[in-house]
Amino acid sequence: MPANNKKQDLERLFKQNRTWIKKVTEEDPNYFSRLVDQQNPEYLWIGCSDSRVPANQIVGLKPGEVFVHRNIANMVVHTDFNALSVIQFAIDRLKVKNIIVVGHYGCSGIEAAMNNARIGIADNWIRHIKDVHDKHNRELKHIQDDHARLDRLCELNVLEQVVNIGQTNIVQDAWSMGQDIAIHGCIYSLRDGVLRDLDTTVTDTNELNERYQKLLSK
């Protein structure tokens, strides 16, 4: 495709940006001046890169009210320095009080893992989701409906990421120093827009282990 056509795609975004600026400043003349000093979020949102799952809009929060990290299938891998750096910055610098792992039903990354689909370099990332699948295979293999099985794996993946976050030395150190941090797991439905609590909230190491075993025994 010619470069001029690509340039037109970008120009459309610039035009929409100017339209958006005009709209928000008409509604709130101090919007941008206030935003400059508004990086004081209480929440760290760890979600999927899926373009249909925008963090701020889903929960009705303004810019500056939620710190966001996104990747394929909302994973927190212990060797992923990108995610770990975000978590440490959120805890040590921004002093967030809540870390929320947000999965969504019908996640294509989780579906790829469940169906052993080959994508390319992303297969190395999706391997971590396959580990979640293998860990919970006993439960999943009894779910006959493919859509229900996928939805359940999406939920189990959120649970495992809550545990992974709680096991990081970043969170462990913060808890040991008495810092008030809760980790939550939620799931979003593209079908109705509802964000559901998966009842995974933990606030210390002991609760992390107890909650995990309780959820698996349901």
**Candidate list 48, 136, 184, 186, residue with the active-site label:** 48
CB 200 within 8 A of CB 162: yes
Q: Name the strand (E) or helix (H) holding 56.
A: helix 55-59
pLDDT digits (tens, 9 = 90+) for 24-51: 999 999 999 888 877 789 999 999 999 9
**Candidate list 50, 128, 184, 211, residue with the active-site label:** 50
CB 171 within 8 A of CB 85: no
Name residues whose C-beta falls within 8 Å of residue 24's C-beta, 6 or more positions apart in sequence: 31
pLDDT digits (tens, 9 = 90+) for 171-202: 999 999 999 999 999 999 999 999 999 999 99
Decide if 154 is catalytic: no
CB 198 within 8 A of CB 74: no
The torsion angle over the Cα atoms of residues 180, 173, 77 and 128, rounded to 10 degrees, is -90
**Candidate list 69, 70, 107, 186, residue with the active-site label:** 107
Instruction: Tell me the C-alpha distance between 170 and 183, whole Å.
Output: 13
CATH top-level class of 40-216: alpha beta
Please report, for the chain, the start and end positions of each structural domain, with discontinuous segments joined by +: 1-37, 40-216
CA distances to 47, 107, 198 from 130, rounded to whole Å, are 18, 13, 21
**Candidate list 69, 104, 136, 184, residue with the active-site label:** 104
Q: Where residue 213 falls among pLDDT bands split at 50, 70, 90?
A: confident
Q: Where residue 156 falls among pLDDT bands split at 50, 70, 90?
A: very high
**Candidate list 12, 52, 78, 196, residue with the active-site label:** 52
| Neighbour-count burial of 16, counting CB atoms closer than 10 A to its CB (0-12 exposed, 13-18 middle, 19+ buried) | exposed
- pLDDT on residue 1: 55
- 3-state secondary structure (DSSP) of residue 28: coil
What does pLDDT average to over the chain? 93
- pLDDT on residue 110: 96
Decide if 146 is catalytic: no
Decide if 50 is catalytic: yes
